[in-house]
Amino acid sequence: MVNMATHLPVGIVLLLSVLIANTNGDNIYRLCVTNRVNVLNRCQTVKRGDSQVECVPVADSVDCALKMQQGDADFGVFTAEEALLASDFIDKSVRVVADIRHVERSTDPFAFEAVAVVKNTYGGTLNSLKGSNFCHPGFAPGGLWTDSVLKHFERFVVSTPCEKSLSVVEQEIKALSHFFKSACRPGPWVQDDMFDNRLKMNYSNLCELCDSPKTCSYASHESGSHRAALTCLTHRGGDVAYVALRYLRQYFGLESGFTAMAEMNDFKILCPDGSTEPLDNPSPCAWVQQPWSGVLARRDIANTLQPLLLSWLVNQPIDLPAWQEALWDLMMEPDHIISSVSSLLSNFVRQIGGETRQACSGSVKWCTVEKTEKQKCEWLKAAVQTHGIQPSIDCVEAKSNFECWGHVRDGIANIVTVDTEYGYIVRKSFNLSPLAYLDSGLNANYQILAIINSSDKQIKSWQNIRQKKACFPEFGGLAWISTVATLIENRQLARMCPHAAAMGSFFGGACAPGAKDIEHTRGSGVVPAKLCSVCSTHNSSDSCSTTSSSVYYGDLGALRCLANGFGNIAFVDYRQLQGSNGRLAQDIDPSAYRVLCRNGSLAQSVGLNVDNNCALSYGVGSEIVARADRSETRNTELTELLLEMDQWFGSTSPSKMDSVFHMYSEFQGTKDLLFKDATRGLVLPNDVGYSYVNDYKKLQDINSVCVKTRNSGVAIIPSIIVLIAVFISPFVI
């Protein structure tokens, strides 16, 4: 749940922390802040003079919570949502020492309260609302109420029967449609536009009370508003509305300076137990009570820090020392004040707990590799729960990527992120298919090049490659399938299935690490031994393996295979030869190489820097996959979960709470856990406007010509292609 207009500006700062003692004996309190505009200058200022504060950079509230738990940070400002998420992990490590309230509402115990309002003719139990007309404030992209708040009333009142033929989202909407006679539930119900339109068409009664039923919106605001929901109740035939208490009081003239828009005595507040109270009750029953943003401090310094904070963050920040002004700017928001609080974190957030009802199909089991990735997954799981996103997530740990893919294939797990280096393998050997591709920008995408020694005068086209020795990073990887596709495109490779046989016939020898491994070669038929013949010349028993001890494994290994004279041509991902700074490793001399382009011509000059037209292929760097035989309902459910996660925790989230958790960021100092850190967002398989995705999909399509038979598991190609191949190819299929 989120703090409404009164929560801290996450665009400036998240958190603070304290260091108890430094080497000269002074107390230094470390300030934990996000990397936002103007933060650096303020952090420099906050150390000046007699300040006892310094900044510690954090990625988000999760990062700060972990730093506090590990003793690397000591206190910070958390919104209620952030505090609720942290309470699952660091409750015993911290205490709440203060909260931060709007100056005009300093006596309000909560940042907001959500209430239900009914006509005064209401009587009976909550079930008597069946057949009534419901007015909802609406779902807005980047809104301050999460699904946990927005759906709390309807999830409490309306039971959802289990229909496995429907996604969990549609199950809830269908139940609402059957429970209420009509409603206005404006804004996007789901993140996928086509799915959203279909839901609103099938359950159109949930838009009938809107000013514009066709667009399912109030006239005042496309995505809805609390005032519009109250107008729906008082003037458009509504029977019950779910709104914030503050707006209720303003609408009925119960706050000073506001004129009543309807007669107060015609309505009453509905309580969760089915009883009612008058609108002017000073402390009415509420369905959700959201605390103000709180200052969390490490337990062992909480008592020392609390009085210092109150003295530093004075409520009239005038003529303060420069460091105190900087501190105030980092922690506070205009027109807000700090108040002393002493509470356990669990007590502070107990009234807002984020409930998530179990979906019919159960939770989505995300496969992780090793401990740290599972820890990040557990934080993501908690964030999904606190935001009320359905379905919930569980985390499954495996020892390796291959074991993870096997878990998804076997139903032990449901979903996993895969580097597209292994996209062909997970499709061929594990029967997985994409849910979404990760848009990570140009530098994170792959670019496969065919590289020869610049001194080689014999190779001038693809015809000259036949019976030459080739170096590959990995059997079945991007370089491998790009070579297959390019040779087919240039009419050099027989359309034999499996492709491994054709590649073995085309090249005079090769080093393709993994060619002896069953996990790499499942579905590839009998793999010719010559695909490891070049590796073995290195006189190493595991030279064709995919272990770190294999000197020719990986893109650098393939280039090393060429440089050492064991191969005539190497196929590599150019991006993998570059460091994080975009530069080649120091031991790579680009002038020693030349690129053979996709069309069979040599690059105009020596070196490795060529455009995508010369590359064998280029495309997106990673994808999220699930079982290929999943039902359409399950596919919709998994896709909507990913889109909701991207909406709230992605790198371009419009949410005012985008500091809660960044799922595309490094975690505990480790990069690329669950997702690539460079990820900007998701691209769905039916999105056609992304050339990097389209090229990758085309590459997979060319290599998927071979399919498995039901009985033997041996790969074959469609019969018409087989007949053609018999006549045009010297090879036997």
Enter the DSSP assignment of 212.
B
Handedness of CA 511, 512, 513, 515 (dihedral sign): negative
H helices of 490-631, in order, are 499-506, 518-521, 533-536, 554-563
- Rounded Cα distance between 342 and 411, Å, is 47
Identify residue 320 by its one-letter amino acid code: L
Say if residues 244 and 114 touch (Cβ distance below 8 Å): yes
Residue 220 burial (C-beta neighbours within 10 Å; 0-12, 13-18, 19+):
exposed
From 624, 619, 621, select the one nearest 417 (Cα to Cα): 624
Helical H segments across 522-592, by residue range: 533-536, 554-563
Q: How do 94-102 and 293-298 pair as beta strands? A: antiparallel
Asked whether 663 and 674 are in contact (CB, 8 A), the reply is yes
Q: Which string of b and e fits 372-405 if b means at least 16 CB within 10 Å?
A: ebbbbbbbbbbbbbbbbbbbbbebbbbeebbebb
Q: Which residues pair with 369 in a beta bridge?
A: 398
> Would you say 456 is a known binding-site residue?
no
Instruction: Give the DSSP letter string of 19-65.
Output: B---TTS--BEEEEEES-TTHHHHHHHTTSTT--EEEEEESSHHHHH
Query: Does 479 carry a binding-site annotation?
Result: yes
Contacts 24+ apart (CB under 8 A), 392-395: 392/356, 392/358, 392/359, 392/363, 392/364, 393/363, 393/364, 393/365, 393/366, 393/641, 394/363, 394/364, 394/365, 394/366, 395/365, 395/366, 395/368
Cβ partners under 8 Å of residue 563, min gap 6:
453, 592
The residue type at 245: L
300 known ligand binder? no
Q: Rounded distance, CA 212 to CA 186, Å?
A: 10
Q: State the Cα–Cα distance between residues 557 and 550, nearest whole angstrom.
A: 8
Peptide bond into 137 cis (omega under 30): no
Burial-class residue 173 by CB neighbours within 10 Å (0-12, 13-18, 19+): buried
Across-strand partners of 277? 269
User: What is the bridge-based pairing of β-strands 53-58 and 29-34?
Assistant: parallel
Enumerate the known binding-site residues for hydrogencarbonate: 479
Binding residues: 419, 446, 479
Residues tagged in the binding site annotation for Fe(3+): 419, 446
